[in-house]
Amino acid sequence: MSVSEINCVAGSNEQALTSRSVLAVVGLAFEATVLGSHAVIYEGDQSLAFIVEALGRGVRGIISFGVCGGLDPKLAPAHCLVGHSVLEGNQTYLCDPRWSNRLLRALPNAVQGIVAGVDIPFRSVEERESFHRRTGAAVVDMESQVVARLAAANNVPFAVCRVVLNPVHRTVPSAALIQIGPGGKPDLKKIGRSVLDDPKQLPKLAHLSMDTAIAITQMHLVKRRLGPAMAFPLTQISGAEVLTPTPIAVAEPNIG
């Protein structure tokens, strides 16, 4: 895999790749903008190549950051979740406990739970509800499984910090499920065609836009609380651990 230009925020790759660095992996351009520091927008093999190179040059930890879809019915837009573990298929990866505890101390209103990592988004409420009942996963995103796999393969710690965008009971309009374009930006032409084909989804898109604004505001608050090192522990910590899946309970959210 060749290393091509990756959309990184605030600083060159050379500045980002120091022995004290924590690399943040996101899926969308606005998530990278919120971080205001180096971040990789995951776009497939070219992004993997960059992350692997970063690990080889001294990155100490990886964090999956951004928005997510709610699976637990107690989670509403803007609720913040710190990962306990990441579930990908039948494989479960334990997030670094010390890093996760520091995240929870920095974010006293956050909850902790299992994060499901998927390559294809769930398309219906029924699918999300069924998945939650079967696995106990609290939220779902499309980058955390990549972070978990890379961390385990390279023996570095990882963490997950996500803000809920859409709750489990809310139908996501088809225009919002269109594959993200280059640089983590929406493909506006395809979205426009989808709306023209089905104008009835406009109210749902408007609702989603409002939820997105709320989630972005919450992400800014989260980032300020975590600081530039994303609450990474200062002392040496171990690499990612692969576990047998063990669903855990999600505490009642209390996020203001």
Range of the domain at 56: 13-170+182-243
251 domain-assigned: no
**CA-based nearest residue to 21, from 223, 226, 239, 228:** 228
204 domain-assigned: yes
Domain tally for the chain?
1
Among 12-16, 98-102, 120-124, 232-236, name the most confident range: 98-102
Query: Looking at per-residue confidence, does 231 or 58 come out higher?
Result: 231
pTM above 0.85, yes or no: no
CATH of the domain at 84: 3.40.50.1580
135 domain-assigned: yes
How far apart, in Å, are the Cα atoms of 163 and each of 56, 126, 213, 251?
29, 22, 12, 15
- Quote the CA–CA distance of 160 and 81 in Å, as a whole number: 8
Q: Residue 174 — very low, low, confident or very high, per pLDDT cuts 50/70/90?
A: low
- Quote the CA–CA distance of 90 and 94 in Å, as a whole number: 13
216 domain-assigned: yes
